[in-house]
Chain A
């Protein structure tokens, strides 16, 4: 027997469809934007190879590799952040020091500002190969893109838990930015007009932390900026 839908039920369906439509529009806009640049660049660079001299080929090759890697990375982020587990790191967890790993990632960015360390000098956890690097890279990259110096990393170990806080100064966050930071494809107003990105950095980092028994949360700093807190089981 089919029960007729009430007016209240119809309203709920309409609201759900409207929300779905907004999410779909956001998805298409962000994915389209982020993939179009490396894909069109790849096409253009590949076409330049035709008849290119040796010097031009030397210039083009690393650019082709960079853009192909970017497409690959964007696709992995997309799958990972949307709970598609096929690209989660595999293999047995291995011991890794989050502090020295974070420092190495920061050094590779070649930022003028340093990463100021405090707390325990080592923070060993067990994570699957590559997971810690990707998780920290996303959080630190987020900090340098949308925050400003000083950039700080504080590590603590209490009992069987390790806690990392990555802090950056920056504009005071509007409530939407805080509430929606883990909403897929949501990008704060400042981010949308200044830098490319899927808006998946923090969701990806959180998915990786959770995979190995951890959690990732954010707290706005008083006066502006953001603390990203990572809590993980200490290495056994």
Chain B
């Protein structure tokens, strides 16, 4: 079990994944880690729309989604919402994905049944985004 308490204030997080059951799992798993899930999105367009009205501290971003995928959403999010942390969350990551996320300076996590590494990455990404845009 994660040490949710070691982080500061509760984090406001948006979950973006086209799989409803993955969203359900994240919603349930992240609540133990000082994280408040403030919204869910099924593709990149919904993420951008959500952020335009209620900016989260961080986003869990699946990379493979219909409509607008994560790769397409990241540049726009970084430009329009630089103080929002982004964590790329994907089932598998080949060389291309790893290179792209490194190039875009986006932390990359493999999907897992354990939400602790994701929670830690979200807190770190939010903190880094806040610091770099301050």
Contact = CB atoms under 8 A, between A and B. Distances in A.
A124 B35 CA distance: 56
B22 A37 contact: yes
Interface string B99-115: 00000000000111111
Interface string B50-92: 0000000000000011110101000000000000000000011
A40 B90 CA distance: 11
B28 A48 contact: yes
B24 A59 contact: yes
Contact of B21 (A29, A41, A145, A192): A41
Interface stretch (A5-13, A90-98, A155-163, A193-201): A193-201
Contacts of B112: 40, 43-44
B92 A40 contact: no
B29 interface: yes
A210 interface: no
A44 B19 contact: no
A193 B64 contact: yes
Nearest to B114: A44
Interface string B6-41: 000000000000111110110011000000000000
Contacts of A63: 20-21, 24-25
B95 to A, nearest CB: 11
- Please classify how large the interface on chain A is, using the bins under 10, 10 to 19, 20 to 34, 35 or more: 20 to 34
A32 interface: yes
Contact of A44 (B18, B92, B115): B115
Contacts of B91: 32-33, 36-37, 40
Q: Give the bracket for the number of chain B residues in contact with chain A.
A: 20 to 34
B22 A193 contact: no
Given A41-B113, A44-B114, A194 B28 contact: no
A36 B92 contact: yes
Contacts of A46: 113
- Interface of B, secondary structure class, is loop
Contacts of A45: 21, 24-25, 28, 113
B64 A196 contact: yes
B113 A194 contact: no
A47 interface: yes
Interface in A169-196: 192-196
A48 B29 contact: yes
Interface string A20-35: 0000000001001100
A41 B22 contact: yes
Interface string A113-144: 00000000000000000000000000000000
Contact of A40 (B24, B69, B111): B111
A32 B21 contact: no
B113 to A, nearest CB: 3
A59 B23 CA distance: 12
Nearest to A66: B21
A217 interface: no
Contacts of A67: 21
Interface of B: 18-22, 24-25, 28-29, 64-67, 69, 71, 91-92, 94, 110-115
6 contacts: A32-B91, A33-B91, A63-B21, A194-B66, A194-B67, A195-B18
